[in-house]
């Protein structure tokens, strides 16, 4: 009896791994690849900006029974792109939407140093082996530094500020490659605000320097995945894309096409998902499945299949191990005597090396990057007013936490920061410090009593890294004449929760199932041990933190997964 498959492949999730595989697999099997994405499409100009619409742009699906910040966890269902998760000593922000994390990331494409690829990384995953895949994904994503020319609008004050601090610290500083559209000619950028088709046919706008990268680019100046890999997959290779659908189960099939939890995937899979708008369960049969739901989503889905639904019982016990927040740490130096102007330009432009690329030290290696926030962050002030919408309630909650738990910072510093905030002149001289580094990558992901993912993060093990970052921040405050150095309030005692936007690990690549969850073998790269045709392609593959922004490495690994599945060497023309 032959099995009637609906698709050659089903891809779950549309972040970097999912978009790359949707594109590459649909080239191999045009019209026979299905992509499932839980979030919405965001056409040009559709990202919310008003306080009311921003307040409704958080992800909350009550049927998930997930721990969330109280002001976000409303009873009503919302399919917004900001998905905030509360865990044990580590909170996380991830994105829901077609294009995944590319919708809200800060665009940096940066290869880690060679030293990152230690014995935890199999030989087939070393940096030297990944070089062709780095190069191709960099070309597709259009990574380049911000243009340097005589146009005064190209001048970004904070870039120079961070460069001067690096010189003061005797540290190396450089402009970073960012996935932002400045036109198709790298040597002759389009004027700010001009439009053109990118090399794949999608219309984009030459960056307008609005500092809104992290809240969705309404001018399509970010090279988000819906404007390259996904654009080609859908328009050239006719991939089918379903949005606002939530993957529930992956079930192996036997030779008769029946569900069989003892099967190994040789006859394909049934995928079950929930249509969030129609409130109906849907299914499809496929020869292969690529799970690319992001580190948190992928680990949770596979754990639920193994431990709750009992459909993938053979997955390695290593599932959920070696979680990393990639050393993420965000802080602020408030109201210095040097201008910063953090409301202008792409969110990140520059990086300063602290023992990551030079004089590598695994205990305290990190990179400092300049960061920005959009002008409408002045809503923070509005949020302090009583009774101001749901967004205001959320902001007042954050403010209350700040006031109650900012231990170790003097009352005078707090008072000065808020006084400057209310005057409205604090922004121009406030610097935003964004750091990433080599944490211990020893967190554990598990399912809680509701079947939702929880992360246990032993933050004390990574304190040497965090202490080095904090010490740098204090020196920045002194150098810049800042009135206060403020880490995010969730870090300060007694909360001690860090927050990550770069969750990694849990399905690490390895040579066998005793060491990891997915195969590092060149012929089955990314395939889940014990199952044919079941792959992972996202940040959960990474064996350790990479210190650098992880998009480049996730993309390189995902290109390699796709090549193993299709047998087609990738190229930048897609």
When pLDDT is averaged across residues 280-306 and rounded to a whole number, the result is 98
CA 179/CA 138 separation, integer angstroms: 8
Question: Residue 303 sits in which domain range?
Answer: 7-566
In a domain, 574, yes or no: no
In a domain, 572, yes or no: no
Cross-strand bridge partners of residue 367: 353, 436
Residue 422 has pLDDT above 60, yes or no: no
What is the predicted pLDDT for the residue at 163? Answer: 97
What is the predicted pLDDT for the residue at 316? Answer: 98
CA 45/CA 212 separation, integer angstroms: 12
Q: Which residue has the tokens 């839980």?
A: 38
The DSSP string of 351-368 is EEEESSSSS--TTT-EEE
Cross-strand bridge partners of residue 132: none
In a domain, 342, yes or no: yes
pLDDT band with cut points at 50, 70 and 90 for residue 117: very high
> Residue by residue, what is the 3-state secondary structure of 171-229?
CCEEECCECECCCCCCCCCCCCCCEEECCCCCEEECCCCCCCHHHCCCCCCECCHHHCH
Residue 271 has pLDDT above 90, yes or no: yes
Alpha-carbon separation of residue 551 from 43, 307, 358, 511, 519 (angstroms): 23, 30, 21, 23, 21
What is the predicted pLDDT for the residue at 63? Answer: 83
Hey, how many other C-beta atoms are within 10 angstroms of the C-beta on 275?
A: 13
CATH number for position 458: 3.50.50.60
Q: Are 371 and 332 in contact (CB under 8 A)?
A: no
CA 374/CA 293 separation, integer angstroms: 28
What is the predicted pLDDT for the residue at 248? Answer: 97
Residue 330 has pLDDT above 80, yes or no: yes
Token pair for 56: 């409704």
What is the predicted pLDDT for the residue at 545? Answer: 98
Hey, how many other C-beta atoms are within 10 angstroms of the C-beta on 156?
A: 21
In a domain, 2, yes or no: no
What is the predicted pLDDT for the residue at 390? Answer: 41
CA 442/CA 387 separation, integer angstroms: 42
When pLDDT is averaged across residues 149-162 and rounded to a whole number, the result is 94
Hey, how many other C-beta atoms are within 10 angstroms of the C-beta on 171?
A: 15
What is the predicted pLDDT for the residue at 373? Answer: 80
When pLDDT is averaged across residues 296-316 and rounded to a whole number, the result is 98
Residues 6 or more apart whose CB falls under 8 angstroms from that of 274 comprise 63, 245, 246, 248, 280, 281, 282
Lowest mean pLDDT across 284-288, 368-372, 396-400, 455-459? 396-400
Nearest to 241 by CA among 568, 555, 18: 18
Hey, how many other C-beta atoms are within 10 angstroms of the C-beta on 131?
A: 12
Hey, how many other C-beta atoms are within 10 angstroms of the C-beta on 30?
A: 14
Work out how many domains the chain is built from and give that number. 1
* Higher-scoring residue by pLDDT: 413, 563: 563
Find the length of the chain.
Answer: 574
Token pair for 36: 């499932």
pTM of the model: 0.92
In a domain, 14, yes or no: yes
In a domain, 547, yes or no: yes
Q: Are 322 and 505 in contact (CB under 8 A)?
A: yes
Token pair for 13: 């999730």
Cross-strand bridge partners of residue 58: 82
> Residue by residue, what is the 3-state secondary structure of 153-187?
HHCCHHHHHHHHHHHHHCCCEEECCECECCCCCCC
Residue 416 has pLDDT above 60, yes or no: no
pLDDT band with cut points at 50, 70 and 90 for residue 420: very low
Prior bond of 320 cis (ω within 30°): no
In a domain, 222, yes or no: yes
Q: For a pLDDT cut of 70, what percent of the chain falls above it?
A: 89
Token pair for 467: 């202490």
In a domain, 571, yes or no: no
Q: What is the pLDDT of residues 164-191, one digit of tens each?
A: 999 999 999 999 999 999 999 989 999 9
């Amino acid at each position: 009896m032959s099995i009637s498959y609906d698709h050659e492949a089903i891809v779950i999730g549309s972040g970097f791994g999912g978009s790359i595989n949707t594109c590459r697999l649909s080239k191999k099997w045009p019209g026979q690849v299905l992509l499932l994405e839980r979030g919405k499409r965001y056409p040009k100009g559709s990202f919310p900006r008003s306080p009311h619409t921003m307040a409704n742009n958080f992800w909350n699906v009550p049927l998930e029974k997930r721990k969330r910040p109280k002001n976000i966890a409303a009873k009503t269902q919302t399919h917004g792109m900001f998905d905030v998760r509360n865990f044990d000593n580590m909170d996380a922000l991830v994105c829901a939407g077609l294009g995944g994390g590319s919708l809200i990331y800060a665009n940096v494409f940066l290869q880690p140093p060679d030293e990152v690829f230690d014995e935890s990384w199999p030989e087939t995953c070393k940096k030297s082996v990944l070089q062709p895949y780095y190069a191709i994904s960099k070309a597709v994503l259009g990574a380049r530094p911000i243009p340097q020319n005589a146009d005064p609008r190209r001048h970004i004050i904070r870039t120079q500020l961070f460069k001067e601090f690096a010189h003061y610290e005797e540290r190396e500083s450089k402009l970073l490659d960012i996935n932002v559209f400045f036109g198709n000619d790298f040597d002759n950028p389009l004027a700010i605000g001009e439009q053109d088709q990118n090399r794949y046919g999608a219309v984009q706008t030459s960056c307008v320097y609005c500092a809104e990268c992290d809240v969705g680019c309404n001018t399509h100046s970010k090279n988000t995945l819906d404007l390259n890999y996904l654009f080609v997959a859908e328009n050239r290779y006719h991939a089918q894309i379903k949005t606002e659908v939530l993957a529930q189960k992956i079930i192996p099939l036997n030779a008769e096409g029946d569900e069989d939890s003892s099967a190994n995937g040789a006859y394909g899979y049934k995928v079950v998902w929930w249509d969030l708008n129609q409130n109906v369960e849907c299914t499809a049969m496929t020869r292969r499945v690529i799970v690319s739901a992001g580190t948190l989503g992928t680990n949770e889905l596979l754990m639920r299949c193994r431990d709750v639904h009992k459909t993938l019982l053979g997955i390695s016990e290593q599932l959920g191990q070696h979680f990393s927040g990639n050393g993420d740490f965000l802080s602020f130096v408030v109201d210095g005597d040097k201008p910063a102007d953090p409301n202008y330009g792409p969110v990140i432009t520059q990086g300063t090396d602290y023992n990551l690329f030079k004089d590598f030290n695994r205990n305290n290696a990190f990179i400092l990057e300049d960061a920005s926030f959009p002008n409408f962050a002045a809503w923070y002030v509005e949020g302090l007013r009583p009774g101001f919408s749901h967004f205001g309630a959320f902001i007042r909650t954050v403010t209350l936490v700040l006031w109650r738990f900012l231990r170790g910072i003097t009352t005078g510093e707090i008072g000065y920061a808020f006084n400057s905030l209310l005057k409205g002149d604090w922004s121009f001289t406030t610097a935003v410090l964004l750091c990433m580094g080599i944490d211990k990558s020893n967190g554990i992901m598990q399912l809680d009593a509701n079947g939702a993912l929880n992360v246990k993060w032993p933050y004390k093990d990574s304190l040497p890294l965090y202490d080095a970052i904090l010490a740098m921040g204090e020196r920045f405050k002194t150098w810049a004449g800042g009135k206060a150095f403020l880490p995010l309030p969730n870090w300060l005692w007694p909360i001690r929760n860090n927050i990550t936007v770069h969750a990694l690990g849990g399905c690490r690549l390895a040579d066998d199932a005793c060491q990891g969850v997915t195969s590092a073998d060149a012929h089955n790269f990314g395939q889940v041990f014990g199952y044919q045709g079941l792959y992972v392609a996202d940040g959960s593959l990474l064996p350790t933190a990479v210190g650098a922004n992880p998009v480049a490495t996730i993309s390189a690994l995902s290109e390699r997964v796709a090549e193993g599945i299709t047998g087609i060497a990738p190229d930048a023309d897609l």
